[in-house]
Amino acid sequence: MKRKLILCFLAGGKIDNQPKCFIKTPNNKTILEEEFEIFNKIYYNEYNIELENTIILYPKNYEKVEFTKLFEKTEINIEFLEGGETLQETINNVIVFTENKKIEDNTFICFISTDTPLINYESVDDIIKRFSLLDGDVFYPFVSKEVYRVKFGEKMAKNRTFIKLKKDSFCGTGIVIIKKGILFNLWGKIKKILENRKNPYQIAKLLNLDPITIIKIMTGGYTVLELEKKINSIFQIKAQGMLTNFANLAFNIDNQQDIKDYEEILKEKSKL
């Protein structure tokens, strides 16, 4: 049986009131265009995946036409939805969309942040292929600090936020794949976690975690597999962490320092 997949590009992030997704990649395309082309070039049929919808969430109170004109020549059907003031409002808009469209609960939604200018086909194809082979409800690709350091150097690694676990530290890639039914059923809890994502104590309270679990999380006492098992137990789901060696997926732009780092990377590339 084929897995059904929806691509959902989260294009609402801004720097200095300008969408980050409009930053140009080495191919002189906006990040949004680059990601859109890459994800739509994947041979989904070979992986027994049926691509159902492509959604672009543009910033709230921003001109929709600035986004639609980027894709005037594409033959792919795209749904343009206005995002919210916050990430949780934006995701809520996606949930409402899937409910109105009567999307089946076993359909997967691939959320893609549009601030990763070094994204390439090989890294995305690797994620989608592995997703097609693994059983689960949630898939979360991540990169180790050591792999990131080797690729971009110690200085740029210090500018990233890593979660400390046993043996190494890790960061996300801006890609999360989750089953629609799971997202819908757990949305109340997920929403509260997003609202309190900078307050670990409040999250621990929301999840009703015992003191030993809290200490192990705060001190990096879990291995990747142990943490994965704990998450599955708490949410009663099957989550699959996907360790990837494509450090480029973890380089994202959040602030002016990231832009400077990006310019430095491009300068080094031009010397090769």
Examine the pLDDT at 220 and tell me if it is beyond 80.
no
Distance between CA atoms of residues 237 and 181, nearest Å: 11
DSSP secondary structure code for residue 253 in this structure = -
Q: Who wins on pLDDT, 103 or 168?
A: 103
Structure tokens, 53: 């919808």
Q: 201 pLDDT exceeds 70?
A: no
**How far is the C-alpha of 242 from the C-alpha of 240, rounded, in Å?**
6
Tokens representing 5 are: 């997949």
Helix and strand counts by DSSP (H, E) for the chain: 11, 11
Residue 3 reports pLDDT greater than 80: yes
**Residue % of the chain over a pLDDT of 70:** 96
Residue 171 Cα distances to 125, 141, 216, 252, angstroms? 20, 9, 18, 11
Tens-place pLDDT, residues 56-113: 999 988 889 999 999 998 999 999 999 998 888 999 999 999 999 999 999 999 999 9
- Residue 202 is predicted with a pLDDT of 72
- pLDDT of 268: 80
| pLDDT tens-place string over residues 17-65 | 889 999 998 888 999 999 999 999 999 999 999 999 999 999 988 889 9
CA distances from 169 to 144, 149, 197, 218, 251 (A): 6, 11, 18, 13, 15
CATH superfamily of 3-191+238-270: Spore Coat Polysaccharide Biosynthesis Protein SpsA; Chain A (3.90.550.10)
Q: What is the pLDDT of residue 200?
A: 61
pTM over 0.95: no
pLDDT for res 216: 75
Residue 198 pLDDT greater than 70, yes or no: no
Task: Determine the straight-line distance between the first and last CA of the chain, rounded to whole angstroms.
Answer: 46
Q: Residue 141: what pLDDT?
A: 94
| pLDDT at position 267 | 85
| pLDDT in the model for residue 37 | 96
**Is 227 or 147 the better-scoring residue by pLDDT?**
147
5-16 pLDDT, tens digit per residue, is 999 999 988 898
Structure tokens at 252: 């994202």
Instruction: Output the average pLDDT for the chain.
Output: 89
pLDDT at 164 (0 to 100) = 82
% of the chain at pLDDT higher than 90? 62
- Give the pLDDT band of residue 1 (cuts 50, 70, 90): confident
